[in-house]
Amino acid sequence: MNETEPVVPRPRGRDAVAYAILSLISIYCAIPFVWLVLASFDANAALFLRWPSPWTLNNYIGIFVREGGARWFFNSFVVVGAATIIVLVFSGFGGYALSRTNAWWKRPFLYTIILVRVVPPPALVVPLYSILLTANNAVASFVRSLLAPELMRPAMLVVGLIDGYLGLILVFAAMQLPLALWIMKTYFDTIPYDYEEAALVDGASLFQRLRLVLAPLALPGLGAAGIFAFISAWGDFLMPLIFLSSSELQMLPLGLFRAFLRVQQIDYGFLSALAILYMLPAVIAFGFARRYFVQTFSGGVKA
C-alpha cells in the first residue's frame, strides 16, 4: 500500500477512535471462528461453544484416514484450479477486447453478462443439466469411437460433462467469467494506450502486443480477477451436488455437506475440522492476492 499519507499531524484521540471502530469490526469478523476452531480439536464436539475435552487431533486425522479427504482436496483443486485458469485466459483476452473496442454492442454486452448473474443458481440447474447432458452424449460417442470400451469410463470421468471433471470446470468458468470480464475490462481501461502504440510503431502484431506488453501489465488485474473466481467457485456446493455422482470425483463441499445427515447424529468435530481445512486454501489464496487489489480496482468505472 503505497498511498500518500496526509502530512498534517493528526491528534492522538482520532487514532483511539479508529482503533475502537476497527476493533469492533474485527471482533465481529473473528468471533464466529472461535467455536469452529475449538470444536475441531474437541473429541466430543457439540453445536455449542465448549472448551475441548479431551483435546484431540482425531477429527483432522479422520478426514484423511476414515474418509477420502485427500481425494476430495485433489478433486477440488483440479476442478476449481482449471476453471480459474480458463477464467484468467478468457477474461484476459475478453477484458482487453472490451476495453479497446468502441463497438455498439460493448455496453449491452457488459450489462447483459453482469445482470444475467442475478438469476439464482437453482433456476439454472435444470436447463444446465439438459444442455450438458446433450453435450455429454456427443462427447461420449466421440470418445467411444476413439477408445477401447474398458477405457470409456475413466475417460468420461475426465472429459465427461455430466459426472466428469470437464463439465464442472466449464460450469464454474462460465459462472465466474462475467465478474472477471468486468474486472479485467475496468483494469485495462487504466492502462494507457501509449504502451501499445510504442509496440505498434515497432510493428508488433496484436498477439505480440498482448503477449509482450499487456500480459505483464495485466498481472495485478488477473490476480484480483483470479482470486475472486477461485474463492467463489471453491465455495460453491450446488453445482458439484447436481453434476457429480461418482465417488472418484467427490469434492470438498460435498464431503462436508454429506457429512451432515449421513448418520442420524452430526459429527461436529469432523465437520468443523473439515470446514477449517476446506476454507484454508481460499484464505491462503486471499493472502497472496491481497496486494493486487488496490492496483486493480483503483480505476473504478470510467467512460
Partner 1 sequence: MTYHQRTARQLQLLLLPCVLLVGALVVYPALYSIYLSLTNASLVGVAATHPRFVGTRNYVRLFADGGFWNSLAVTFWFVLGSAVIGQFVLGLAAAVLLRRPLRFKHLINSIILLPNAVPEVVAGFIWISMLAGGDHATLNRLLGALGIPPVRWLQDFPLAMIIVVNTWRGIASAMILMTAGLSAVPGEIREAARIDGASPRQVFRFITLPLIMPTIFLYMLVSTVTTISIFGFIYALTRGGPGNATEIIGIYIYNQSFTAFQLGYGSAVAVVTLILSLAIGLVYVRALKVEV
Partner 2 sequence: MFNGRILAGISVAVALAIGSAQAKTIRIAEHRQARIDALKTVVPDIEKKYNVHIEVVEYPAPEKDYLTKLLTELRAGNAPDIFTAPHGQDVADMAAAGYLAPLTAELKAWDGYAQSVDAAKAMATGKDGQMYVLPAMLNVQQIYYRRDILEKAGISTAQPKTWAELLDRAKEIKAKTGAYGLLFPAGVTWGGGSFTEGFRLLIVGTSTPQIANDDGTLNLTSPGIKDAFGFYADLINNDLMPIQPLLEPEPWVLPKYQMFPAGKLVATTSGSWCYIYDWGPESKNPIPNVTEVVGSWEVPGKQGGQYVLVDLESPWAVNSKSPDVGLAKKVMLELGSVKADVAYAQNLGNIPGRTDAAADPDFQKLKPLVPILAALKNGTGTYLKTAEGFSAVAEGVARATEAQLRKKTDAAGAQKILVDYVKEVVGDEAVK
Within 219-248, the residues that bind partner 2 by CB under 8 A are: 241-242, 245-248
Core vs surface per residue 142-156: b (16+ CB within 10 A) or e: ebeeeeeeeeeeebb
Q: Of 115 and 151, which CB lies nearer to partner 1 in the complex structure?
A: 115
> Distances from the Cα of 163 to the Cαs of 136, 158, 175, in angstroms?
9, 9, 18
Write the single-letter amino acid at 282. A
Of 11-19, 107-115, 148-156, 294-302, which segment contacts partner 2 by CB under 8 A?
148-156
Residue 30: contacted member of partner 2, partner 1, none (CB under 5 to 8 Å, by partner type):
partner 1
- Whole-angstrom CA distances from 182 to 94, 119, 178 are 10, 18, 6
Instruction: Report the nearest approach of partner 2 to the CB of residue 240 (Å).
Output: 10
Secondary structure (3-state) at 52: coil
> Is residue 81 a contact residue for partner 2 (CB under 8 A)?
yes
Cβ within 8 Å of residue 267, ≥6 positions away: 45, 259
Residue span binding partner 2 (CB under 8 A) among the ranges 109-117, 127-135, 271-279, 291-299: 127-135
Interacting residues with partner 1 between 53 and 92 (CB under 8 A): 86, 89-91
Residue 200 binds: one of partner 1, partner 2, none (C-beta under 5 to 8 A by kind)? none
Taking CB under 8 A as the rule, does residue 153 contact partner 1? no
Contact between 221 and 185 (Cβ < 8 Å)? no
* Residue 201 touches partner 1, criterion: CB under 8 A: no
Considering only CA atoms, which of 41, 36, 9 is closest in space to residue 280? 36
CB 209 within 8 A of CB 86: no
Q: Contacting partner 1 (CB under 8 A), which of 98, 140, 199, 218? A: 98
Binding site for partner 2 (CB under 8 A): 74, 78, 81, 125-126, 129-130, 133, 149-151, 153-154, 157-158, 162, 241-242, 245-248, 254, 257-258, 260-266
